A and B are shown apart, each in its own frame.
Chain A
Amino acid sequence: QSALTQPRSVSGSPGQSVTISCTGTSSDVGGYNYVSWYQHHPGKTPKLMIYDVSERPSGVPDRFSGSKSGNTASLTISGLQAEDEADYYCCSCTDISTYVFGTGTEVTVL
């Protein structure tokens, strides 16, 4: 199972919006509405930001939103803040009952 494809990096100024794409296949992203997104600061524990494509756990700011179209899921961060600078990973279940993460995207706040 190949990793889902994400851009290596995205950047934006404070207050701007950035969108991270996550491209898979019909065997994972496209086949199920079970895409989740994780924020990972180096040296820290990953944090769940979005689950089931677009659901936000309690405590996650509504600046974070998710969507999906076909085999590509997206995470949008609106009103970018300094503390949003981190690595972000998408994840999907697959048709063989496994899970696959994305390649990861480094978000930089300029």
Chain B
Amino acid sequence: EVQLVDSGGGLVQPGRSLRLSCKNSGSTFGNYALTWVRQAPGKGLEWVAFIRSKTYGETTEYAASVKGRFTISRDDSKGIAYLQMNSLKTEDTAVYYCSRLYYYYFDYWGQGTLVTVSS
């Protein structure tokens, strides 16, 4: 079974950086694509980024709202995916969830980690 645990959230000032982690404690991690989804306070779900498996070159895709500022990566030896967030803006304040992207849907989710961008 896939079990994802998100961590790394916290309070950060605008313009600073933060790195989120998503650790898998279940089955084979390296075979699947992984994604990050966020939910701002009072708003809906927003897809952020995903990274394909090593089989597909670990290539990445990003939402327009974070492209150039966020970087998704993975370390399959540790069973961890990362979301490096640079040049943070107040509008990046949200709960961030990692999820397994299985074919074209998100089937397993982490519990979420809260990022607050504020001065």
**Chain A residues in contact with chain B, CB under 8 A?**
1, 3, 32, 34, 36, 38, 40, 45-48, 51-52, 57, 87, 89, 91, 93, 97-104
Nearest chain A CB to B67's CB is how many angstroms away? 10
Given contacts A1-B63, A45-B97, A46-B97, contact A100 B47 (CB under 8 A): yes
* Smallest CB-CB A-B distances: 4 pairs: A34-B104, A104-B44, A36-B105, A51-B105
Instruction: Report B-chain residues with C-beta under 8 Å of the C-beta of A104.
Output: 44-45
Nearest chain B CB to A1's CB is how many angstroms away? 7
Given contacts A98-B61, A99-B47, A103-B44, contact A51 B109 (CB under 8 A): no
Residue contact A91 to B105, C-beta cutoff 8 Å: yes
Find A101's partner among B47, B50, B64 (CB 8 Å cutoff).
B47
Residue contact A57 to B107, C-beta cutoff 8 Å: yes
Binary interface encoding of chain B residues 59-95 relative to chain A, with 1 for a CB under 8 A from any of its CBs, else 0: 0011110000000000000000000000000000000
The docked-state distance in angstroms from the alpha carbon of A1 to that of B110 is 25
Given contacts A98-B61, A103-B44, contact A48 B107 (CB under 8 A): yes
| Interface Cβ pair total, 8 Å cutoff | 63
The docked-state distance in angstroms from the alpha carbon of A104 to that of B47 is 13
Q: Identify 15 new A-B residue pairs, CB closer than 8 A, beyond the known A36-B106, A91-B45.
A: A38-B45, A40-B45, A45-B110, A46-B99, A48-B107, A52-B103, A52-B104, A89-B44, A89-B45, A93-B104, A98-B62, A101-B44, A101-B46, A103-B44, A104-B45
Instruction: Report B-chain residues with C-beta under 8 Å of the C-beta of A97.
Output: 61
Residue contact B64 to A51, C-beta cutoff 8 Å: no
B17 at the A interface (CB under 8 A)? no
Instruction: Report A-chain residues with C-beta under 8 Å of the C-beta of B63.
Output: 1, 98
Considering only CB atoms, which chain B residue lies closest to A96 in the complex?
A: B61
Instruction: Report A-chain residues with C-beta under 8 Å of the C-beta of B37.
Output: 46, 101
